[in-house]
Amino acid sequence: MEYHDYEYALIRAVPRVERGELVNLGVLVYCRWREELAVRTLLPEAKLLALDPAVDLAAVARALRGIEGVCAGGAAGGSARGDSPGRRFRWLTAPRSAVVQPGPVHTGLTADPAGELERLFAQLVA
C-alpha cells in the first residue's frame, strides 16, 4: 500500500466570538498527490442554538453550501471555479472573522483520501 501526504482542516462555527466557544461543522481534505479536494459537513442546529439562541442558522447553512460549492469547483465554485484544488483549499482555509471559519491546517499520511475524510468526519464532527 502506498501512502501519500494530505492536509485537512475543520470547518467550525463560532457564534459568539467573545466567548470563544465553537462547534465543528465539517472537515476539508486535500490530497496533492491525487489533486483532490473534498468536504463533508453537518449543521448541528441544537448545538449552535445552545451556544447562541440568536444564531442565524440560515446564514450558517448558506456558508456551508458556499464552502461545498468552492470545494466542488465548476460552476458551483463561483470565482474560484477555475482554480486548482490546492488553490481552492488554501482559499477555504484562510483565516476569517466570521461565524463560519476554518480551523488550523493539519497534515497526515493516507492511501485513501476519501476514507480519511470519512474517518475524520466521524471522529471530529459527527
pLDDT tens profile 73-92: 877 667 777 789 999 999 99
pTM: 0.90
CA 56/CA 35 separation, integer angstroms: 34
- Span 119-123, mean pLDDT? 96
Cell triple for residue 77?
465554485
CA 47/CA 120 separation, integer angstroms: 19
- Span 92-117, mean pLDDT? 93
CA 62/CA 15 separation, integer angstroms: 15
Cell triple for residue 17?
466570538
Confidence of residue 33 (pLDDT cuts 50, 70, 90): confident
The Cβ-side half-sphere exposure at 97, using a 13 Å CA radius, reads 1
| Higher-confidence position of 18 and 44 | 44
